């Protein structure tokens, strides 16, 4: 758990503003004597992770200025990744202002950009791209940020449609792989066609997405997937784009 390393200090961590203040203990248990500096650093870093998770940008800045590591992380998840996944725009800006690594976690199937895209936080996605987030970073299923934003249910269409638009608008000049394929051979276009995301399909086709790749297991293309799911209007769009 996030605070297991310092639980022995009996310092309650809660979501109130006061929880983000770091108090130096008057005395330490025997096991911690001689290690007070390390213990206090762990507390500051844990507080920063909590503040970033809650989107408390003022607490984030205060903790960084008082010594918390801007790239504090727990089990591979950094403060920036927490703030990005929760759509905490102000906290994301503060962390980046103080030098947070925008691509932390990208080598281990996660990143701030992937988390923001998966949650449909278009503004945060744009901020991260402006700070050189790796658009080719992939998750456990080898999906990029474009994949995860394009495949969401039509019930969540507005947020994720806008996220795809931001990825296309800001990412094309920064290495966005429009036709990247995941572990099953799916592209973002195929994912959007399967999910019934008409506007996203239109945006991807307009940006030049290739409709010819086929899934590894079934051999289906974006057109076939749309037909199988009953999205005839989307299948027609794809067919017309191939002319």
Unique residue bearing structure tokens 């998840």:
77
Work out the angle at residue 191's Cα, subtended by the Cα atoms of residues 190 and 196, and round it to the nearest 5 degrees.
100
Three-state DSSP class for residue 17: helix
Unique residue bearing structure tokens 């506007």:
199
Residue 43 C-alpha from the chain's centroid: 25
Q: Give residue 2's pLDDT band: very low, low, confident or very high (50, 70, 90).
A: very low
The tens digit of pLDDT for each residue in 5-50 reads 333 333 333 344 456 665 555 555 665 555 777 889 999 999 999 9
Provide the pairing of β-strand 73-74 with 77-78: antiparallel
The tens digit of pLDDT for each residue in 160-179 reads 999 999 999 999 999 999 99
The tens digit of pLDDT for each residue in 130-154 reads 999 999 999 999 999 999 999 987 7
Of 15-24, 62-71, 95-104, 143-152, minimum mean pLDDT range: 15-24
d(CA 21, CA 178): 45
Average pLDDT, the chain: 88
* pLDDT of 1 strictly over 60: no
* pLDDT of 78 strictly over 50: yes
Give the per-residue pLDDT at 61: 98
State percent of the chain over pLDDT 90.
Answer: 77
Give the per-residue pLDDT at 242: 78
d(CA 22, CA 139): 35
**What structural domains and CATH numbers belong to the chain?**
4-179 (1.25.40.20)
Q: Give residue 97's pLDDT band: very low, low, confident or very high (50, 70, 90).
A: very high
The tens digit of pLDDT for each residue in 201-227 reads 999 999 999 999 999 989 999 999 999
**Total-model pTM:** 0.85
Three-state DSSP class for residue 131: coil
**Does the CA dihedral 202-206-211-213 come out positive or negative?**
negative
Residue 21 contacts by C-beta under 8 Å, 6 or more apart in sequence? none
């Amino acid at each position: 758990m996030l605070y297991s390393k310092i639980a022995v200090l009996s310092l309650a961590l809660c979501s109130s503003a006061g929880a983000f203040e770091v108090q130096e203990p008057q005395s330490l248990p025997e096991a911690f004597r001689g290690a007070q500096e390390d213990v206090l650093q762990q507390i500051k870093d844990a507080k920063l992770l909590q503040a970033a998770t809650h989107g408390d940008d003022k607490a984030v800045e205060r903790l960084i200025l008082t010594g918390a590591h801007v790239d504090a992380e727990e089990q591979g998840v950094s403060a920036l990744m927490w703030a990005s996944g929760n759509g905490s725009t102000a906290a994301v800006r503060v962390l980046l202002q103080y030098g947070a690594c925008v691509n932390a976690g990208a080598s281990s199937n996660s990143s701030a950009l992937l988390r923001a895209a998966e949650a449909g936080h278009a503004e945060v996605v744009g901020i991260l791209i402006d700070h050189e987030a790796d658009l080719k970073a992939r998750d456990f299923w080898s999906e990029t940020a474009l994949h995860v934003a394009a495949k969401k249910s039509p019930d969540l269409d507005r947020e994720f449609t806008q996220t795809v638009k931001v990825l296309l608008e800001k990412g094309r000049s920064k290495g966005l792989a429009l036709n990247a394929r995941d572990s099953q051979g799916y592209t973002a276009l195929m994912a959007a066609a399967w999910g019934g995301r008409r506007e996203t399909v239109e945006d991807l086709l307009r940006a030049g997405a290739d409709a010819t790749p086929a899934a590894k297991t079934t051999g289906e293309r974006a057109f076939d997937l749309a037909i199988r799911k009953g999205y005839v209007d989307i299948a027609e769009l794809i067919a017309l784009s191939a002319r």
